[in-house]
Amino acid sequence: MKTVAELNAARAAALKKIVLRKADEVIAKQVQSDYKYTVLVCGGTGCTSSHSTDIVEKLKEEIKAKGIEGDVQVIMTGCFGLCALGPIMIVYPEGCFYSMVEIGNIPRIVEEHLVGGEPVRELLYKETVAEDGSIKSLNETNFYKKQIRVALRNCGVINPEDIYEYIAVDGYQALAKVLTENTPDEVIKIVTDSGLRGRGGGGFPTGRKWALCAPNKAPQKYVVCNADEGDPGAFMDRSVLEGDPHCLIEAMAIAGYAIGATKGYVYVRAEYPIAVNRLAKAIEDARKAGILGKNIFGTGFDFDMDIRLGAGAFVCGEETALMTSIEGNRGEPRPRPPYPAVKGLFNSPTVENNVETFANIPQIILRGAEWFASMGTERSKGTKVFALGGKIEHTGLVEIPMGTTLNDIIYEIGGGIPGGKKFKAAQTGGPSGGCIPASLIDTEVDYDNLVSIGCMMGSGGLIVMDEDTCMVDMAKFFLEFTVDESCGKCTPCRVGTRRLLEMLEKITDGKGTLEDIDKLEELCNYIKANSLCGLGQTAPNPVLATLKFFRDEYIAHVVDKKCPAGVCKSLLSFTIDKDKCIGCGKCAKNCPNDAIVKTDYVAPGHKLPSYTIINDSCIKCGACMAGCKFGAISKK
C-alpha cells in the first residue's frame, strides 16, 4: 500500500469479509457479504485456557462435514470480555451469543443453526433469550449495555490476525489522515484537546507528554509502548494486543509522527504468548503492506517497530525501569529528572504510553477531540477498561465511561457478588492502589475521585471483595507481592517494604500491639516519601488505604486477637457445636493433627457422643469444617 488511495481500495474490498458483523449499520445494506454466517470464537487467553481452539477445530470439522465451508466464516477473535462465561462464541448475522460452549454442543449448533437456520436457544447465554423466545443482541445484556467500547472496539469483532479486517473497520485511516492532513503539532493538539490521560496508572495527560518530547532534538527518538501489564488480576492490555494488535501499531506510528520518532518498541510480557504472536504477525503484515517502514503512504514519514519481551519483573512497568530493561539490563528504575521526554530509551528523547492509552488514539483522530471529550467526567475524559475479578459474578473485561459509579460496575455490569454475600470493598490499582469501601460505593470512578479517597485508578484491575475477605490479610497479600517484586535498588523499598510485611505478619499472627499499628503507618509514610520509583512510592498504599477504611479490623487483630473475617489462621478457633454433632467421627478422621477427640456427651436426639477440638493441637487447617455435612463446626 503505497498511497492512501490504495488503503481505501483495500478497505472497500475487505468490507465484504466483515459486513455481517455490522448488521446495524447502513453500510451493511450496501455491501454484499461473502458469507451467510460468520462465527466468532473467542481466542483470548481466558477462553483459550478453556479450550476454545479445540472448539474452532471441531466447528471447522463439522462445517466441512456438512459441506457448508463456502457459507460459513469461522474466526478466532480477541477477548469479548465476559471471561466468566467462556468459551464464548457469537454467530452473525443474528449476533447469537453462545456461552460456556462445550465441544459436544458443536455438532448440534452446526446442524440446527448454521445448516437449519435456527439458533439453539438453550445453549445461548440465558440473558439473551427473552421469555417469548426472541433473541436479544449482546449489547442489550446487563454486562454490555452500559459499556462504551473505544479501546476495545475491535476486540471480539475482527480477526486480529488479518490486517484486512482491521482495514475494513477503518484501520490505518487515522494514520493516513494525520500524515496527509495534519502537522505533528496539530496531532499533539488534537490529543491534548481530547483530554486523554495515561491509562497506565498515573493519569498524566497524554498530549502534554507528547508536547514535552516533541521539541527535543536528537538523531533518534523513540516511541515506547508499555505492555508489561503486571498487576495481579489485570488483563486489559493483553486483550487489546490479542484482539486488535494493528490498532496499537497505528497509534504508535501516529505518536512517532507527532513527536518526530521513527522507531518504536513494544515491551510486552513474555507471559502473554498469544498477544506476542499476534502482535509479531501484525507488525510483519504491516511491514509487508508498506504501512510500517520507509516513506509510509508516500508521505516521506518513516516508522518501524520491534517487540521486546519482558521476563517477569513487575517493576518494569515503571517507565524508566522498562527502558533500562529494553536496553538489556536488570530492569532497575533510574531517578527522574531527567524525564524520558528528554533522556529516555538509549538516552534519547522518548514517549512512553501504555497499550490502552494508545488504543484510544486512532479513534480520537478519526472522530475528533470533542467526541472523546464528550465522554467521561470533567477531568477524566473518555472510557476506561477494567478487569473485573475477585468475588464477582461476571469476571471479565469491561469498558465504561469515566464517572460510572462503582455500584453500577459491580451490580449492573458485574452481576453482583456470588452467593448473596455482602460487598465489602473494591480494590483498584493493584499493589499500588487502595480500596474503596462499601460506604463509598456510589463514588464515580475517575482519576481524581479515586485519588481523593486515597485510592488510585491504576491500570484497571478491579478486585471485588466480600465479607469473607480480611482486609489486613489483603494488605499483606499485596505487600508480599511488592516485596517479591521490589528491584532492590533503593533502601526504602528494598528493606522498608520487607519490614512492613513483617509488621503485618506480626499483626495477622496475633502478636501485634496498638503501637505496631502506629509504627506501621509511620513506616508506610516514610516509604511513600523516600522511595526511588513509583513501585516503592505506592507500595504502602494497600496498607494505608485499609488502615484508613478498616482500622477497626487492624484493632480487632491486635486488641481482641480476632480476625473478623475468619481468614487469619493464627487468630481462628474452630469449635464443634456439641448439640449439632451426630458423632460420626469424620472430622476426627480428617484432622491431620489428631486434635479432635470424642467426648462423653450425647446430644438429645443423637445416638453417638459428640466430638470436640483441642485448641492447643488444632492447626486451623479447616479440614474438619470442610468435611462436616451437618454444619456442626464453625470458625470464628
Partner 1 sequence: MLKKVSTIPHQGTPEQAQRLAEVIAKYKHDKSNLMAVMQEAQAIYDYLPIEVQTEIARGMDVPLEKVYGVATFYAQFSLTPKGETHISVCLGTACYVKGSGDIYDRLQEELGIGGDECTPDRKFSLTACRCIGACGLAPVLTVNDEVYGRLTADDVPGIIAKYN
Partner 2 sequence: MEMLNVKVNGIAVSVPKGATILEAARKAGVEIPTLCFMKEKNEIGACRICVVEATGARGLVTACVYPVTEGMEIQTNTPKVRAARKTTLELILSTHDQNCLSCVRSTNCELQKLCLEYGVDSKAYAGFKPTYELDYSVPHLVRDNNKCILCRRCVAACNEQYVSVIGANNRGIDTCIGHPFDMPLGDTSCISCGQCTVVCPTGALVEHDDTDKVWAALADPTKHVVVETAPAVRATLGECFGMPIGTNVEGKMVAALRRLGFDFVFDTNTAADFTIVEEATELLNRVKNGGKLPLITSCSPGWIKFCEYYYPEYIDHLSSCKSPQQMGGALIKTYWAEKMGYKPEDVFVVSIMPCTAKKFEIERDDECAAGAGNPDVDVVLTTRELSRMINRAGIQFTSLPDEDFDPALGVDTGAAVIFGATGGVMEAALRTANDVLTGKDNENLVFEEVRGTAGIKEATYTIAGLPVKVAVASGISNAKVIMDKIASGEADWTFVEIMACPGGCVNGGGQPIQPQYVRDTVDLKAERAKALYSQDEAMTLRKSHKNPIVAEVYKDFFGGDWGCHKAHEILHTSYVKRDKFHH
Residue 564 CB, nearest distance to partner 2 (Å)?
A: 26
**Per-residue contact track with partner 1, 244 to 273, x per CB under 8 A?**
--------------------------xxx-
> CA 581 to CA 571: how far, in whole Å?
24
Contact 430, 233 (CB under 8 A): yes
Nearer to partner 1, 33 or 324 (CB): 324
* Strands in 358-422 per DSSP E: 383-390, 396-401
Partner interacting with residue 262 (select from partner 1, partner 2, none; CB below 5-8 Å by kind):
none
> CA 330 to CA 322: how far, in whole Å?
10
Strand partners, 399: 385
Partner interacting with residue 329 (select from partner 1, partner 2, none; CB below 5-8 Å by kind):
partner 1
Contact 427, 465 (CB under 8 A): yes
Of 368, 144, 163, the closest CA to residue 248 belongs to 163
- Using CB under 8 A, which of 484, 518, 560, 579 touches partner 2? 484
- Using CB under 8 A, which of 43, 431, 496, 540 touches partner 2? 496
> CA 67 to CA 373: how far, in whole Å?
50
Q: What is the DSSP letter of 290?
A: T
Q: What is the DSSP letter of 560?
A: I
Partner interacting with residue 326 (select from partner 2, partner 1, none; CB below 5-8 Å by kind):
partner 1
Choose the binding region for partner 2 from 197-205, 259-267, 524-532, 575-583 (rule: CB under 8 A).
524-532
Question: Sign of the CA dihedral 416, 482, 350, 330?
Answer: negative
- Using CB under 8 A, which of 180, 183, 452, 491 touches partner 2? 491
- Using CB under 8 A, which of 449, 469, 497, 546 touches partner 1? 469
Residue 501 CB, nearest distance to partner 2 (Å)?
A: 9
Nearer to partner 2, 443 or 531 (CB): 531
Cell of 498: 520487607
Residue 573 CB, nearest distance to partner 1 (Å)?
A: 19
177 binding partner 2? (CB under 8 A): no
Partner interacting with residue 578 (select from partner 1, partner 2, none; CB below 5-8 Å by kind):
none
- Using CB under 8 A, which of 5, 311, 529, 619 touches partner 2? 529
476 binding partner 1? (CB under 8 A): no
Contact 550, 570 (CB under 8 A): no
* Strands in 230-345 per DSSP E: 263-269, 293-296, 301-310
**Amino acid at residue number 530:** N
Contact 123, 109 (CB under 8 A): yes
For residue 36, how many other CB atoms are within 10 A of its CB? Answer: 15
For residue 409, how many other CB atoms are within 10 A of its CB? Answer: 21
269 binding partner 2? (CB under 8 A): no
**Per-residue contact track with partner 2, 185 to 224, x per CB under 8 A?**
----------------------------------------
494 binding partner 2? (CB under 8 A): yes
Of 248, 257, 114, the closest CA to residue 188 belongs to 257
Residue 222 CB, nearest distance to partner 1 (Å)?
A: 12
Strand partners, 221: none
The number of residues in the chain equals 636
328 binding partner 1? (CB under 8 A): yes
328 binding partner 2? (CB under 8 A): no
334 binding partner 2? (CB under 8 A): yes
Residue 102 CB, nearest distance to partner 1 (Å)?
A: 14
Angle at alpha carbon of residue 443, lines to 437 and 447, rounded to 5°: 105
Contact 351, 341 (CB under 8 A): yes
Residues that bind partner 1 (CB under 8 A): 44-46, 49-50, 83-86, 230, 232-235, 238, 270-272, 308-313, 325-332, 346, 387, 389-391, 395-396, 427, 430, 461, 463, 465, 469, 477, 484-485, 487
- Give the footprint of partner 2 on this chain (CB under 8 A): 313, 330, 332, 334-335, 337-338, 483-492, 494-496, 498-499, 502, 523, 526, 528-532
